């Protein structure tokens, strides 16, 4: 019996997001195994993925109240409850869910595994300058970890490049797909009849401004085509100004949605466009595949590794390249059908059963 201890870091401050979804699914999978015992005793969290009322038993923390320092406070409260368990050491391997090294003084000689999701802080100076602490903590833990899990070959290569870590210490294990398109429902939102879908954050390296500029001519020429943005928060004043300057203010929409509505958005879109300059993995690509949505994709970082031949690629730094790829996908029915078929095949490589077994293999290699 192998006992794995997961801490509460990511669940203390992330209500939604790829990292907390990753650990939720991983813990669910491992908890079904007879040869694995999972130690995960979080006290407070507002995380959506934990809130299923079945497996995870925690309390919400002032869920509908927002104030400065709220997430720091819930993190400190959770840490107070879990440090005694970390210190007792009744586990074989410790697996932190993010990069805070607080646990180093409590785990003694117990080994720990570190999952690294991307090297965005190292690749983009503006991100690093805004949050130097994350990069410093990640580098420290990467050097001390018994094994590192990188979620793509691209991320592994960046770890070796920026940290000088021995590549033999790093296991490449991708993220699984959690989308359940059969549960899709579009309640409270009336989607345009014809639209291109954008999903997620729109800041910095996500390249949204260049994407929307590349779309402007298409939107002005095709009076029935629109852009739907899911997540990422409401449009900023700068984004609204850009839409006005491009003459498309009524053709670009933003919605904050839960998973079931997001699946419906993928299913009804003519194409999902992902213009990001860098991704450690790119979960939305798999979400689009499993929902039967054609994908136009940056040819950068890990994205070609994930999508292979199931996407139409473009240079994310060239507006004309983005525009040509979108035109090709939106107006070629045969191409879209072919891409959907290839996407449905590709997504079978990313089941959580396969991913969890690979993670177990990493744990067993330590023990």
**Most distant CA pair in the chain, distance:** 66
Mean pLDDT, all residues of the chain = 92
Query: Quick check: 13 and 74 in contact, CB under 8 A?
Result: yes
In this prediction, residue 317 has a pLDDT band, given cuts at 50, 70 and 90, of very high
Look at residue 73 in the predicted model and tell me its pLDDT: 86
In this prediction, residue 52 has a pLDDT band, given cuts at 50, 70 and 90, of low
**Does 53 have pLDDT greater than 60?**
no
pLDDT tens, position by position, 229-265: 998 889 999 999 999 999 999 999 999 888 889 999 9
Region 65-88: mean pLDDT is: 87
Query: What are the structural domains, with CATH classification, of the chain?
Result: 2-175+351-366 (3.40.50.2000), 181-350 (3.40.50.2000)
Task: List all residues 6 or more positions away from 65 whose beta carbon is below 8 Å from its beta carbon.
Answer: none
Query: Quick check: 197 and 266 in contact, CB under 8 A?
Result: yes
d(CA 165, CA 155): 12
The encoded tokens of residue 60 equal 């919400």
In this prediction, residue 158 has a pLDDT band, given cuts at 50, 70 and 90, of very high
The encoded tokens of residue 41 equal 């005793």
Query: Quick check: 283 and 18 in contact, CB under 8 A?
Result: yes
Region 194-208: mean pLDDT is: 94
Look at residue 197 in the predicted model and tell me its pLDDT: 98
Region 127-132: mean pLDDT is: 75
Q: Return the closest-CA partner of residue 326 out of 288, 284, 296, 304.
A: 296
Q: What proportion of the chain, given as a percentage, has pLDDT over 70?
A: 98
Q: Return the closest-CA partner of residue 42 out of 54, 27, 57.
A: 57
Q: Return the closest-CA partner of residue 347 out of 176, 194, 188.
A: 176
The more confident residue out of 222 and 120 is: 222
| Model pTM score | 0.87
């Amino acid at each position: 019996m192998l006992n794995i201890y997961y801490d509460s870091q990511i669940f203390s401050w992330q209500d939604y997001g790829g990292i907390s979804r990753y650990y939720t699914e991983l813990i669910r999978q491992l908890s079904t195994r007879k040869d694995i015992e999972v130690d995960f005793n979080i006290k407070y969290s507002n995380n959506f993925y934990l809130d299923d009322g079945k497996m995870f038993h925690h309390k919400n923390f002032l869920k509908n109240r927002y104030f400065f320092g709220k997430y720091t406070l819930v993190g400190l409260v959770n840490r107070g409850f879990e440090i005694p368990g970390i210190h007792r050491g009744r586990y074989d391997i410790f697996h932190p869910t993010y990069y805070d090294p607080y646990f180093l003084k409590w785990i003694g000689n117990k080994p720990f595994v570190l999952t690294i999701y991307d090297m965005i802080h190292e690749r983009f100076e503006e991100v690093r300058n805004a949050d130097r602490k994350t990069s410093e903590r990640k580098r420290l833990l990467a050097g001390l970890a018994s094994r590192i899990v990188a979620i793509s070959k691209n991320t592994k290569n960046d770890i070796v490049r920026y940290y000088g870590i021995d590549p033999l210490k790093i296991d490449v294990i991708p993220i699984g797909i959690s989308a359940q398109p059969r549960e899709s429902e579009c309640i409270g939102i009336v989607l345009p009849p014809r639209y291109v879908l954008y999903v997620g954050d729109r800041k910095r390296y996500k390249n949204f401004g260049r994407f929307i500029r590349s779309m402007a001519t298409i939107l002005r020429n095709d009076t029935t085509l629109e852009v739907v943005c899911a997540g990422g928060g409401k449009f900023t004043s700068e984004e609204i100004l850009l839409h006005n300057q491009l003459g498309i203010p009524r053709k670009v929409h933003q919605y904050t949605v839960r998973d079931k509505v997001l699946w419906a958005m993928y299913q009804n879109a003519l194409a999902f466009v992902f213009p990001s300059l860098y991704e450690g993995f790119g979960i939305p690509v798999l979400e689009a595949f499993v929902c039967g949505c054609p994908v136009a994709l940056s040819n950068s970082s890990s994205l070609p590794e994930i999508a292979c031949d199931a996407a139409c690629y473009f240079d994310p730094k060239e507006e004309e390249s983005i525009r040509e790829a979108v035109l090709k996908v939106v107006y070629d029915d045969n191409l879209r059908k072919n891409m959907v078929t290839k996407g449905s095949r590709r997504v079978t490589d990313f089941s959580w059963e396969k991913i969890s077994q690979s993670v177990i293999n990493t744990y067993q290699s330590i023990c």
